[in-house]
Amino acid sequence: MDRAALELLSPERAATEGAALGQLACALDGGGLLITASRLVEFGARATILFAPGLFRLDFTPREETLGLYPKTLGPEAEWHANEQTWDSYRDPKGPAPIELMGTFANGLRVWIHVLSFTERDALATHFVAKAEIRPASTG
């Protein structure tokens, strides 16, 4: 893995550049970066939930019964995947299951994103609690 890719794993950079989102970041044991955030987003508004400088931005647009999910690659090419359960879990009458999204970047990094959501019907908003684990593809 090249030096530029390793510099993208800086917790200081992720925390500083994501400060406006209330984002926190720390290094992971064995190498990597953990980013966490919590946001309340009004129905119909598009908001950034997670921001990894130089890698990606993850935006959500909640509505009463659906959710728009927009991963935007900000650096090296990425391939994004979500399992089928994630596609339909937001409509489950028992409540939404966690959203899981995986990304593999051309620079040898990979990300696993896990998001919990809670609808605040009185506030016409959804509360998101999210984390992203970013690691070199060669580590577990």
> Lowest-confidence range among 2-11, 87-96, 124-133?
87-96
The pLDDT tens digits of the residues spanning 109-140 come to 999 999 998 888 888 999 999 999 999 987 55
d(CA 8, CA 2): 11
Of 66 and 94, more confident: 66
What pLDDT score does 14 carry? Answer: 95
121: helix, strand or coil: helix
Of 5 and 74, more confident: 74
| pLDDT, the chain, mean | 88
Given a contact cutoff of 8 angstroms between Cβ atoms, the answer to whether 49 and 115 are in contact is yes
Given a contact cutoff of 8 angstroms between Cβ atoms, the answer to whether 138 and 83 are in contact is no
d(CA 30, CA 41): 34
d(CA 135, CA 130): 17
- The two tokens of residue 44 are 């119909």
Domain positions in the chain: 3-136
Q: Give the global pTM.
A: 0.87
pLDDT at 91 over 90: no
> Lowest-confidence range among 14-18, 22-26, 64-68, 91-95?
91-95
Residue 66 amino acid letter: T
Give residues with Cβ within 8 angstroms of 12, minimum separation 6.
25
- Sign, Cα dihedral of 16, 18, 22, 28: negative
Given a contact cutoff of 8 angstroms between Cβ atoms, the answer to whether 51 and 21 are in contact is yes
